[in-house]
Structure 1
Amino acid sequence: MAAQLRPMQWHDLRRTMIRTAGPLTALLLALFSALLPALPAAAQGQQVQQQQRQFEFTQDYDPSPAIWELSDEDTTIYLLGTIHALPRGFRWRSERLNEIIDTADVLVVESSTYAEVPDAIDLDSKLVARIANRLPTSNRLSNAGNTRWRELVGMSGLDFASIDTMPVLLGLLTVGMSGGEFDTSSTLYGVETVLEREFMRSGRPIRTIEDSGEVMYSLLRLDNSEILRELDTSLTAWDGKSLSEFFDEDYAERYGDAYWEAEHNWARGIVADDFELGLGSGAIGRAFDYNLLDRRNAAWAIWLEERLEQPGTVLLAVGAGHFEGESSLLNMLMARGLEADRIE
């Protein structure tokens, strides 16, 4: 694989997106449902049983996820890093977090079906128009790259024409996130879903911190020649033998608690000094890092500064990855002269 498009494990790609871009992940999973060939019911049942055994986990600790507080004389904003999808039964709530959930006036998340976004863009129409007007990816690759591209998509089991007409970053992500085995995590058990249910039951409002459609479109519209050249280089360097090795030359399956290491660390309150999506320093990596991390964290810091001007108690729950690394939301706040204190 080309040096700039850094190798990444299949499950790490899906799960890193889950930590930073829940709405985009949901869009991709919806595409999978439409494109993946259906399995016979019996095979589906066998697959579910096998997955349940492979992805069992244990928690011999009391959960204590990291929480920060940003406040002034009449406003308190609690910042909670989340995992958008979790396996059923995974414990993540502490006594302190329960107290915060009970006392918050409003829940703010990245995206929610329960919150209206004023002036939201029509992502579906924009994406349909872009697909209709773009030259297929295969026509923009070298002969060798075109051959490997067809092999890569073919190994994924997805419909080639659908992937080939997508904006290249969306097509590449869809192929990447379809590889390997799907674990037992679900947004049904994800932090935001659980919090939304509680706030809905108690009649408290739910708001969003951004227009998730605009975020997705800012990424998907990047379909330029520099990105295509990088993809072409990676494809021609790939030996075509293994779908997983295109994204990770040293891929090895992990199961049980080893698979859920990131989730365990998060539930224990471990916050890493560094965070990256893992797609390298080339055009593709820069596009993802800027649009999913840097730009959003900077915008959220502005939102938080402005929200301090309104009294009340807010619970902001966004992907855990946004609190890690040099471009973290915490550092963006500090750049604006604001400091969030960790309280758990």
Structure 2
Amino acid sequence: MRLSSKHLTLLILLAIVALAPLAFPSNFYYRIGALAFVNGLAVTGLVILIGFAGQVSLGHAGFAGIGAYTCALAPIYLGLHPALAMLLGTVISAGIAWLIGGPILRLKGYYLGVATLGFGILVSMVLANEVPITGGADGREVPELGLRAALKFIGIDLSNAQFWYAFTALFLLGGAWVASNLHDSAAGRALRALHDSEIAAGTVGVDVARYKLSAFVLSAVYASLSGSLLALMNKFITPDVAGFLHSVELVTMTVLGGAGSVPGAIAGATLLTLLPQALTALQAYEHMILGLIMMLVMIFMRDGLVPTLSRALRGRG
């Protein structure tokens, strides 16, 4: 029986996650892998918003900040376990996305980009200025998740880095599975119709406002989960997680790998997570080379790395 493209994609992702540690010389690489998975989760959400629905967001790191700080503050002020705090962060992010999404998504083009940018800046400013609660620029400590100790109790002994590699990989694989299934569903076809033309989609019965809002809320949930995982993994968080530069970084990862492709966006997130580590030996030239690589990809691979390479391989075959 021939595998569908989405099942093949998930199997390839699973194989990479399982086999990559065989080449890791130290636990440090487990942490880099976990960071790539966290970024990949947020970027997968942006694929749904940008790649499927054709809506731009330059402030999505704001939702990551909400998820991260909920994990830091809810255990202190509400007495919640960090895992429940992570769930609460996704609910809060989804609720805020639903409230602001209606008016924001009526805008188009750069107006929409500026509006989402304003949201991200607002969240970042609140986190930086509410010093008694958030700790301001100094950040806040995040409580221990506690699952590693529970696994050790039942006989599964992982180091801290190995645990976070496996734990974040589960979230990335789950997020990729949801996004891939959405792509092939009736809702996914409606979203892609929006991407091509909102007017044409509306004429064939697509509820444009509802589908745009649904994509925005779902992508906010992905971003919130990525922020929560980052906070729990680092055990410390600062307002930078909600900053403008983080939002731009996430959008760049999405476009670099291929905004309309789930594996492409994950590849873009992985590449931009790993490249700075690989270029550290070049010191002063690190950012110049990184920028040059990004420019060349955008010039010669305008649809992103994975879609362009995939077409090239199919053409050669």
Scaled by the length of structure 2, the TM-score of the pair is 0.26
Structure with greater Cα Rg: 1
Query: Which has a greater percent of helix?
Result: 2
Query: Which has a greater percent of strand?
Result: 1
Scaled by the length of structure 1, the TM-score of the pair is 0.24
Q: Which has the higher contact order (CA 8 A, sep 6+)?
A: 1
